Structure 1
Amino acid sequence: MNCRTKSSIFCSVFLLLAFLLSSVSHAADTVETVESETGFYYTIQKGDTLWGLSQQFSDSPWLWPELWEENDQISNPHWIFPGERIRLYKKKGAQTITKAAPSSSQPVVIPPAPVKPVSKKAKKKRNKPFFFYPSIDRIGFIRKPPVSPSGTIFEVQGRKDMISEGDIVYIRPSEDAPVNLLIPGSRHTIFRYLQPTDEKDSTETIGTQHYILGIVELTQKEPDMILAKVVKSFRPIMVNDMLMPYTQQSPKIELKPSTPGIDGRIIISEEHTVLTGDYMLAFIDKGKADNIEAGQQYSIYTQQKTVLENSQIKDKLLPPNDFGTLLVLHTEQTTSTVVITQTSHNIDPGERFRTPVN
């Protein structure tokens, strides 16, 4: 074997070792996924509201809950301040890269996995507008006949006058309550009957108001009583308040077209006070029997009479004037619970509402 042949073999072995070392170096590289986030931001100006910004940037004021959801720093959606920066749109992504060891060569970039396209049907369903009402569990209703209670609170641990969250209460089951209804682990809504208006026969003509106070979870069952813990307290709870089965509801209320030809009256506010501003609860005299559905919007209006001089007609109704809007949250057979979404002045019991005029 000559020197040239030996040199050739030596070079081949050297190149093979270099290739193997290079492969080991790349194998030692670490793979890391880097999250990225892009978005558009806006600085609040004087007079801005989430409702208005949603209309401006999303072409629908009803998408304001999504704008609120994207900005955790806003504790109350009705209070935003000039100079505060909010995020209007956010898009998350991920890029997978190979992070090289200190002694390795250049990093190798691995392209992100292909994203499965969203179907038109799924996109349409996801982008459907909704109204977000986080306090949905505490809204009351008017029903005729009233709900039959499944039990009654007859004592509280510590003999307190006012019962609140965390307290242990003792419940006397109703005689006609199903045996499998009041079982440990189940939740029940605490409520109280109220007369909807001051009229003597209002419970017969309108129904009975169910005033929601809180939620309890049953913990222990005894032969003649049940122990429960108050897990949520919306309002002060007292001995003799009643229970009915708790039904979980979604705070996202899908918006629906209003029923044509509706013309009704606002019965009263839930707290029996003058409706002085937005987002107060009230009851109306239309319900499922009138094709009213949760998520529908109606206009609150007023209509004045005027006296015509030198005419055979003594008085005449002027055209209706819309001054507010309401949104249906819950429906019963002949009544519904609504939230006032906008009003330019106080609303009194008996105020009228109608299908919005296009």
Structure 2
Amino acid sequence: MNRRINSTALISVFLLLPLLLSATGTAADKIDVVESETGFYYTIQKGDTLWDLSNHFNDSPWLWPELWEGNDQITNPHWIFPGERIRLYRKSGSQAVVKSEDIQPVAVIQPAPVTPVKPAEGKKASAPFFVYPSIDRVGFIRKPPVTPSGSIFEVEGRKVLISEGDRVYVRPQGDAAQNELIPGSRHTVFRYMKPTDERDSTETIGTQHYILGIVEVTKKEPDMVIAKVLKSFRTIRVDDLLMPYNQRSSDIELKPSIPGIDGQIIISEDHLKLTGDYTLAFIDKGRADNIQVGQQYSIYSKQKTVMENNEISSKSLPPVDFGAFLVLHTEQTTSTVIITSASKVISPGERFRTPIN
């Protein structure tokens, strides 16, 4: 796939520039839409082709048409450029992901094999990454809980439900609040929750921090601060709490999983049954277990024991993987994850483990 442009082609491009701009406007819009969606992505590097990338991410170069089809912003499979972001697709029944990138034309039935391009010496190859645009609303379980810097005690207009654009009045809490709640500073609005209905769940598991929105302090008074609601992820009410806002990247680089991990899903973030893809949940492993953001793990179930010839002896069947998740946030003993695939309903208490290659 030769990307060099000769002088004649360059002149033609300039002559057709107005048409190209109008034609590519829609493509640019599509790129913006794609990059705002949750999923696995990869940034194209110099020398990449869809043929090679299909082979690398899906173990077969012949699947490039499916990869191309999944990236509408690529209008010509011969023309992909370093820096472009493309969406990858998971192989069925696997932790690997497939990436759609520079592809041979549809008219070509049997494209000639291309020699893989190795990264330049000293240059680190680009790694696949997972995009989660809603990263700011990802909550966590922590023990002991975060000490709030303030609490909302009133809203302008005395509304029951607080939404984006509303002005709220915040009562500072704690010694550090005076330095944290200053004009221009941003803060995350949250609420404490019990992670489960168990009586001692906060002592044994920790306290769930349920993220509600983001506010920005606009004015400081002697005994209060006034803030504007910038984002409202969920319903915000009077008495909800504030903590300093820490910006997190929505691009999460994929990392190798830790061998020998075996743990349990605690519950979904909204305390519902984990119905499948892109549901947030908490697990009982964290930084103390070397869990890191960007790692992937398999969700599995133990098969029922079977009797042999109606005898008392029994044999346990091997466990079966039926889902996967990716780590979005880690605490010392817990982590927040997003379910990336599931072939059946996932419930609290399901087991997870290091993927088996």
* TM-score with structure 1 setting the length: 0.69
Find the residue that maps to 1:183 and give its secondary structure. coil
Q: Which amino acid aligns with 2:299?
A: I
- 1:325 aligned to 2:324? yes
Find the residue that maps to 2:178 and give its secondary structure. coil
C-alpha deviations, 1:90-139, integer Å up to 9, x for none?
338xxxxxxxxxxxxxxxxxxxxxxxxx9544452xx2111111110000
C-alpha deviations, 1:267-320, integer Å up to 9, x for none?
000011111120110000000000000000000000023143468864432101
Q: Which amino acid aligns with 2:57?
A: S
Counterpart CA distance in 1 for 2:162 and 2:227 is 12
Paired residues, number: 273
Distance 1:85 1:136, change over 3 A: closer
2:57 corresponds in structure 1 to: 60
Which residues in structure 2 correspond to 1:145-294 (within 5 Å)? 145-294=144-293
CA contact (8 A) 1:326 1:339 kept: yes
CA contact (8 A) 1:152 1:174 kept: yes
Counterpart CA distance in 1 for 2:41 and 2:124 is 24
Deviation, 1:181, is: 1.1
C-alpha deviations, 1:52-84, integer Å up to 9, x for none?
9999747437xxxxxxxxx9xx9xxxxx79xx7
CA contact (8 A) 2:267 2:282 kept: yes
Counterpart CA distance in 1 for 2:332 and 2:221 is 37
Percent identity, aligned pairs only?
64
1:44 corresponds in structure 2 to: none
C-alpha deviations, 1:228-285, integer Å up to 9, x for none?
0000110010000000000001111111100000000000000111111201100000
Find the residue that maps to 1:146 and give its secondary structure. coil
Find the residue that maps to 1:237 and give its secondary structure. coil
Counterpart CA distance in 1 for 2:40 and 2:137 is 23
Q: Which amino acid aligns with 1:353?
A: F
Counterpart CA distance in 2 for 1:353 and 1:152 is 37
- 1:91 aligned to 2:81? yes
List, as ranges, runs of 4+ consecutive aligned residues in structure 1 with deviation greater than 2 Å: 33-37, 50-61, 84-92, 118-123, 175-179, 307-317
1:134 corresponds in structure 2 to: 133
CA contact (8 A) 2:74 2:80 kept: no
Find the residue that maps to 1:189 and give its secondary structure. strand
CA contact (8 A) 1:279 1:341 kept: yes
Distance 1:119 1:304, change over 3 A: closer
C-alpha deviations, 1:6-29, integer Å up to 9, x for none?
xxxxxxxxxxxxxxxxxxxxxxxx
C-alpha deviations, 1:314-342, integer Å up to 9, x for none?
44321010011110010000000000000
Counterpart CA distance in 2 for 1:316 and 1:348 is 25
Q: Which amino acid aligns with 2:186?
A: R
1:110 corresponds in structure 2 to: none
Q: Which amino acid aligns with 1:281?
A: L
Could you list the runs of 5+ residues in structure 2 that have no partner in the other structure? 1-10, 28-38, 43-49, 59-67, 83-118
CA contact (8 A) 1:131 1:253 kept: yes
Counterpart CA distance in 2 for 1:212 and 1:220 is 23
Counterpart CA distance in 2 for 1:327 and 1:174 is 35
Q: Which amino acid aligns with 1:351?
A: E
Structure with more strand by fraction: 1
Counterpart CA distance in 2 for 1:137 and 1:52 is 19
RMSD: 3.3
Q: Which amino acid aligns with 1:90?
A: I
Find the residue that maps to 1:214 and give its secondary structure. strand
Find the residue that maps to 1:137 and give its secondary structure. helix
CA contact (8 A) 2:141 2:208 kept: yes
Counterpart CA distance in 2 for 1:120 and 1:330 is 33
CA contact (8 A) 1:187 1:216 kept: yes
CA contact (8 A) 1:305 1:316 kept: no
* TM-score with structure 2 setting the length: 0.69
Deviation, 1:347, is: 0.2
Distance 1:130 1:311, change over 3 A: same
Distance 1:307 1:291, change over 3 A: same
Counterpart CA distance in 1 for 2:338 and 2:262 is 17
Distance 1:186 1:90, change over 3 A: same
Find the residue that maps to 2:80 and give its secondary structure. strand
Find the residue that maps to 2:247 and give its secondary structure. coil
Distance 1:287 1:313, change over 3 A: farther
Deviation, 1:179, is: 2.5
Higher Cα Rg, which structure: 1
Counterpart CA distance in 2 for 1:266 and 1:129 is 25
